[in-house]
Amino acid sequence: MENIESGEASGGEIQSVQRVGQICSLFGPHTTELTAAEIAERLGLNRTTAYRYCASLVTAGILERGHSRGTFVLGGLMLQLGMHALGRRRVIKIAPPFMAELTNAVRMTTVLAVWGARGPIVALVNEDISRTVMVTVHTGSQLDLDFAQMKVFLACQDEHAFERATEGVSDTKRAEIEAGVYMARRNGYSIASHSDGLFSAAAPVFDEYGICATVALLGADQMADLSYGSPALTQLLHTAVALSAELGGDHEKMRAAGPLGAESGGQERRRVADV
């Protein structure tokens, strides 16, 4: 292997690093074990090549052998690095009481998401247990383009983040997401309805460097009032501002100076069913 100190790594080595990242990204809350054959199919690799990658990653501690025959799971090194990375996010330590207060006030599950490799990752969940049917999401889940959290994050980042997040999607879908990001930038929050009857409403949380998280409501009542000035949306925005202040981020200053501060959407009123 080329000595890194003597020059840049070769194209093949860079591709190998990218491949490792692709393999690791296949794992999640609903995909805890994968065989080399499954990895090969999902990434378009030769099965022998996929197995060699997996075997090398086991040696490095990035993967481990799963309980089922021929399977692989994320290894101890990934656990160690993941815990270290989360531990450095101050918002995760500070947010729980803010989320508990929000849940109690609006009787909805609250979700804190941080930005991962390509999109929002659920870091904390405070479930609303006051209702007969509880709406929740798994910690560690990556939220897709349809979620309000994604649109808020993209509204606060540069165009390169949007390009990476929408890579490979159809022109129609891309235009739809672009419109949602515009609305999030204009309003300072985002509301999204989903095909499974759920809705999400999200607002940005800032620290001294910029957006560090989103705080969101997750519910199932399609007639829930999330119009501007409604109790639920007002409480969500209040929580985002208070959490930002606790983190040393000036919420209004960030909105005015950053991509999110294009213009105010305070006059827009709508219900979830209309979004």
CA-closest candidate to residue 211, choices 159, 254, 246, 163: 254
The long-range contacts involving 241-244, CB below 8 angstroms and separated by at least 24 positions, are: 242/98, 243/91, 243/94, 243/95, 243/98, 243/205, 243/213, 243/215, 244/204, 244/205, 244/206, 244/207
pLDDT tens string 167-225: 778 999 999 999 999 999 999 999 998 767 788 999 999 998 889 999 999 988 766 78
pLDDT tens string 104-157: 999 999 999 998 867 888 989 999 988 777 888 888 888 888 899 999 999 998
Pairing of β 190-193 and β 120-126: unpaired
Over residues 235-239, mean pLDDT: 95
Separation of alpha carbons 206 and 213, rounded Å: 7
- ∠ CA 160-195-126, rounded to 5°: 75
Total-model pTM? 0.70
Separation of alpha carbons 256 and 241, rounded Å: 14
Separation of alpha carbons 11 and 8, rounded Å: 9
